[in-house]
Amino acid sequence: MSSMSVTQALMTRKSVRVYEDKPVPQPLLQEILELAGRSASGGNVQPWKVDVLTGDALNSMAQSVQGFIQQSGGKSEPEFPTYPSKLADPYHSRRGDCGELMYDALGIAREDKMNRIMQTMKNYNFFGAPVGIILSMDRDMGQPQCLDIGIYMQSIMLLAKERGLDTCPQVSWTVFPQPVREALGLGDDKKIMAGICLGYKAEGEAVNEISQERAALEDYISFHGF
């Protein structure tokens, strides 16, 4: 393991969407997940349920979900709206810029709807990552527990980075939760909260090298009493 600082992990982590075909050693994965379990959560309830997939299990879920999407013509019953129906600026334009940067790097034009859909569908194969993680929680959990899930995700992403692995957080799985639950043997009482791709970054892929900008501190910070 490298001696990467939290700052370095935070600064170098970016969403990776093309992976090497190289397995992640199970002990390394185990270590990441054990450490991530140290994440803070309100009341220490630790609401996360974690399904970790690789190999046949991953491929089988990917196939079922992709099949479901094709059969349903993309119609879904999402766990929650991915964004507010009227996403206001600056959020709306940030979202647009984020997509454009990604599709530019992939060489997919705005009007090339088919290739955009194909690219989106890659979410449902964990972008070819050797390991896929699905995070869920009990359906009767509330918004504070969603925060806990986010914190847990960030722990996994930074711990992975520290170990030379890359990740991509994914809301996509929550858009088609039903076949995900079926594939994992989860009941309707479980809410699919997110996915995480995990593996070794493929080199020489422009889409893995994009730098999504961040707003300046002044845009959203108010210091009080300083």
Ligand X SMILES: Cc1cc2nc3c(=O)[nH]c(=O)nc-3n(C[C@H](O)[C@H](O)[C@H](O)COP(=O)(O)O)c2cc1C
Considering the rule CB under 6 A, would residue 155 count as an interface residue with ligand X? no
Considering the rule CB under 6 A, would residue 183 count as an interface residue with ligand X? no
Binding residue (CB under 6 A) for ligand X from 171, 178, 184, 200: 171
Considering the rule CB under 6 A, would residue 50 count as an interface residue with ligand X? no
**Please, which residue, 29 or 106, has the CB nearer to ligand X?**
106
Q: 73-102 mask for ligand X (x: CB under 6 A)?
A: -------------------------x----
At residue 56, φ and ψ (nearest 5 deg) are: -60, -40
Q: Considering only CA atoms, which of 162, 196, 165, 154 is closest in space to residue 36?
A: 154
Joined together, the tokens standing for residue 12 give: 């170098």
Q: Do 164 and 22 meet the contact criterion of CB atoms below 8 Å apart?
A: no
Considering the rule CB under 6 A, would residue 14 count as an interface residue with ligand X? yes
Helix ranges, the chain (H)? 6-12, 26-36, 55-72, 91-106, 113-121, 143-162, 177-184
Considering the rule CB under 6 A, would residue 137 count as an interface residue with ligand X? no
**Please, which residue, 15 or 155, has the CB nearer to ligand X?**
15
Binding residue (CB under 6 A) for ligand X from 39, 123, 155, 208: 123
3-state secondary structure 106-132: HCCCCCCHHHHHHHHHHHHHHHHCCEE
Residues lying near ligand X in the complex (CB under 6 A): 14-15, 17, 98, 123, 168-172, 194, 212
